């Protein structure tokens, strides 16, 4: 009898009235536009939303477009650099805020690291634009590294959160045991902390890569002439003429994002 009463009191979200309907509506709102985009990327016609038959012509056109090739190569290089630098900084920041005794100002430091997540992206973009403009005027130095710095700064909190979460879930007893066995701090880090932390670092790096690859606002404000990335190229094309080539490029970007998430899932499952 007591077991039956306990079962009745157990809260189950799926038993709420209308749960299935709301779930279906949410999935439709999330994925129906994406499915439509993918389907119309194979449209044989030149109109973006009028189906005229099945064809790969827009994928072929995007593949042979030199502007798309340059923008894609630049986007991948930029995302790789931003992911590498932001993950390195985020790892050091996570270690500095979790593997130390509590100190005054720790909450302020945590807030400052996550500032790009709380401030509207347009504000960060304008601030970086003003800062880099002042540096360019004072030094006369131009280059792609301004865009790399901007993306790195924006991606740091995205890499920091999974790394910090991984550190907080790790048992510090193993690191103390390594120290008790006379392992120097660097050896204890490379032999104990880093192997355990690696899934969090990988998650942060992949998240930073995807965020940098898809960024439009900061790139649009910071980039100079000849520094077009794939998202800004697509935005420029939408302002001029819209063809299913944009659908094809968007589908490829979607595929890359899904591939990155799938690889991360496979790697973490194997390590587990």
pLDDT per position as a tens digit, 25-57? 988 888 888 888 888 888 888 777 778 888 888
Residue 62 CA to residue 56 CA, distance in Å, equals 10
Tokens linked to 225: 């002439």
Smallest CA-to-CA distance from 194 within 263, 50, 94 is with 94
Sequence-separated (6 or more) residues with CB below 8 Å from residue 86: 151, 152, 153, 155, 156, 158, 159, 204, 208
First to last CA, the chain: 40
Interval 86-99: pLDDT, tens: 999 999 988 888 87
Instruction: Report CA dihedral (146, 150, 151, 157) to the nearest 10 degrees.
Output: 150
Exposure string of 26-46, with b = 16+ CB inside 10 Å and e = fewer, is eeeeeeeeeeebeebbbbebe
| 60 to 51, 81, 231, 249, 254: CA distances (angstroms) | 18, 29, 19, 11, 17
pLDDT grade, residue 251 (50/70/90)? confident
pLDDT at 77 over 60: yes
Residue 178 CA to residue 264 CA, distance in Å, equals 29
DSSP lists the bridge partners of residue 54 as 43
Tokens linked to 155: 């991606």
Q: With DSSP H G I counted as helix, E B as strand and the rest as coil, what are the percentages for the chain, rounded to 5? A: 80, 0, 20
125 close to 165: Cβ distance less than 8 angstroms: no
Residue 84 CA to residue 204 CA, distance in Å, equals 10
pTM, two decimal places: 0.80
Residue 253 CA to residue 251 CA, distance in Å, equals 5
Tokens linked to 271: 């390590």
| 234 to 67, 209, 211: CA distances (angstroms) | 11, 19, 16
pLDDT at 1 over 50: no
Give the largest Cα separation in the chain, rounded.
81
Domains of the chain with CATH codes: 11-40 (no CATH), 65-271 (1.10.3720.10)
pLDDT at 13 over 70: no
pLDDT at 209 over 70: yes
pLDDT at 68 over 50: yes
């Amino acid at each position: 009898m007591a077991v039956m009463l306990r079962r009745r009191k157990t809260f189950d979200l799926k038993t709420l009235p209308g749960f299935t309907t709301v779930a279906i509506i949410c999935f439709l709102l999330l994925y129906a536009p994406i499915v439509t985009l993918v389907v119309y990327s194979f449209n044989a016609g030149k109109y973006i939303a009028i189906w005229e038959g099945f064809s790969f012509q827009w994928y072929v056109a995007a593949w042979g477009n030199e502007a798309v090739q340059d923008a894609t190569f630049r986007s991948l290089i930029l995302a790789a650099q931003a992911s590498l630098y932001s993950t390195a900084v985020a790892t050091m920041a996570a270690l500095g805020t979790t593997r130390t005794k509590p100190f005054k100002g720790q909450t302020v430091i945590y807030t400052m690291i996550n500032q790009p997540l709380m401030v509207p992206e347009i504000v960060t973009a304008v601030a970086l634009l003003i800062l880099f403009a002042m540096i360019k005027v004072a030094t006369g130095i131009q280059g792609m590294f301004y865009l790399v710095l901007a993306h790195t700064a924006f991606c740091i909190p995205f890499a920091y959160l999974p790394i910090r979460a991984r550190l907080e879930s790790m048992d510090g007893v193993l690191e103390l045991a390594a120290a008790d066995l006379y392992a120097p701090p660097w050896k204890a880090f490379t032999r104990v902390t880093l192997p355990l932390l690696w899934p969090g670092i990988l998650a942060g790096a992949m998240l930073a890569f995807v965020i940098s690859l898809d960024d439009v606002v900061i790139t649009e404000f910071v980039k100079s002439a000849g520094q077009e990335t794939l998202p800004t190229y697509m935005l420029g094309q939408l302002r001029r003429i819209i063809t299913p080539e944009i659908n094809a490029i968007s589908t490829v970007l979607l595929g890359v994002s899904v591939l990155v998430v799938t690889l991360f899932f496979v790697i973490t499952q194997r390590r587990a």
